[in-house]
């Protein structure tokens, strides 16, 4: 991974989440993704089993960011996994409060990608969360905004509110926004044109079935996203 002068990895632009096998780790890197997500939430359909996690991590190309997704996990366990697997980012996809990020920072965790869902009052929730993080000196490295499903923490294929996100640079006190939620090869260009995010993230949009990726769909997704973002 390339690094910023401060030592943190540069933000990726094309993330594919829910990698569950060595084959998919290799194929998604070859398809053009510059970040791959490893899901450590046991209730997820894309949960990565601990006995193969190290092998899957090792299969991720060196120029592709490894992002570990956690949901309301024990802080010490999260940091331990991040260190053991040499994760570049920790993605928090649960209800973790600012104090949780402060503990991660004190324990020397990698940069945090904090996810939010477009539920009721989600904008104010993000604004208040970032204000609290700033007061605790633990601001996340980037934010991810996903679609909303009250019964799930993500990976549902539900689209985020593109229209409400169009002006994110005017109210979001975070430099990087990752757009997720229902993104596919056939709609990622429209999503980028509407929101102008820093990065895009997909899981179900490039799958044959949950946890099993389609290299052709992934290549189209990455190519379309790259063209739309002008990189």
Q: Average per-residue pLDDT in the chain?
A: 91
* Residue 1 within any structural domain of the chain: no
pLDDT band, very low/low/confident/very high, at 10 (cuts 50, 70, 90): confident
Residue with the larger pLDDT of the pair 10 and 190: 190
* Residue 5 within any structural domain of the chain: no
pLDDT value of position 4: 39
- pLDDT, one tens digit per residue, over 123-169 is 999 999 999 999 999 999 999 999 755 444 444 557 788 999 999 99
* Residue 102 within any structural domain of the chain: yes
* Residue among 17, 10, 13 at smallest CA distance from 146: 17
For residues 118 and 160, the answer to whether their CB atoms sit within 8 Å is yes
Residue percentage of the chain with pLDDT more than 90: 85
Q: Of residues 24, 34, 88, 146, which has the active-site annotation?
A: 146
**Residue 208 pLDDT more than 80?**
yes
What is d(CA 65, CA 72) in angstroms, rounded to the nearest whole number?
22
* Residue 110 within any structural domain of the chain: yes
For residues 30 and 66, the answer to whether their CB atoms sit within 8 Å is no
Domain that holds residue 121: 14-229
pLDDT value of position 9: 61
Catalytic site residue 146?
A: yes
* Residue 76 within any structural domain of the chain: yes
- pLDDT, one tens digit per residue, over 50-67 is 999 999 999 999 999 999
What is d(CA 137, CA 111) in angstroms, rounded to the nearest whole number?
13
What is d(CA 56, CA 109) in angstroms, rounded to the nearest whole number?
20
Residues 175-193, mean pLDDT to the nearest whole number: 96
Residues 17-22, mean pLDDT to the nearest whole number: 97
**Residue 116 pLDDT more than 90?**
yes
* Residue 119 within any structural domain of the chain: yes
CATH of the domain at 217: 3.20.20.70
What is d(CA 222, CA 34) in angstroms, rounded to the nearest whole number?
9
* Residue 122 within any structural domain of the chain: yes
pLDDT value of position 6: 34
CA 143 to chain centre: 8
Residues 173-196, mean pLDDT to the nearest whole number: 96
* Residue among 230, 70, 57 at smallest CA distance from 144: 70
Number of domains into which the chain is organized: 1
Q: What is the pTM of this model?
A: 0.92
């Amino acid at each position: 991974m390339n690094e910023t002068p401060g030592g943190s990895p540069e933000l990726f632009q094309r993330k594919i989440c829910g990698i569950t096998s060595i084959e998919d780790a290799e194929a998604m890197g070859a398809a053009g993704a510059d970040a791959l997500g490893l899901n450590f939430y046991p209730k997820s359909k894309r949960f990565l089993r601990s006995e193969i996690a190290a092998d899957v991590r090792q299969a991720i190309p060196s120029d592709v960011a490894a992002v570990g997704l956690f949901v309301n996990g024990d802080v010490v366990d999260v940091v331990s996994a991040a260190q053991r697997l040499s994760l570049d980012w920790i993605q928090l996809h649960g209800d973790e409060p600012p104090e949780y990020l402060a503990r991660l920072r004190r324990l020397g965790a990698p940069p945090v990608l904090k996810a939010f869902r477009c539920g009721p009052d989600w904008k104010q929730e993000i604004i208040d969360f970032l204000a609290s993080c700033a007061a605790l000196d633990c601001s996340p490295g980037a934010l991810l905004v996903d679609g909303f499903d009250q019964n799930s923490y993500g990976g549902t294929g539900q689209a985020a509110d593109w229209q409400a996100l169009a002006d994110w640079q005017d109210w979001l006190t975070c430099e990087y926004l990752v757009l997720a939620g229902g993104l596919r090869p056939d709609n990622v260009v429209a999503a980028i044109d509407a929101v102008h995010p820093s990065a895009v993230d997909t899981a179900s949009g490039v799958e044959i079935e949950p946890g099993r990726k389609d290299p052709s769909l992934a290549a189209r997704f990455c190519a379309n996203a790259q063209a739309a973002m002008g990189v």
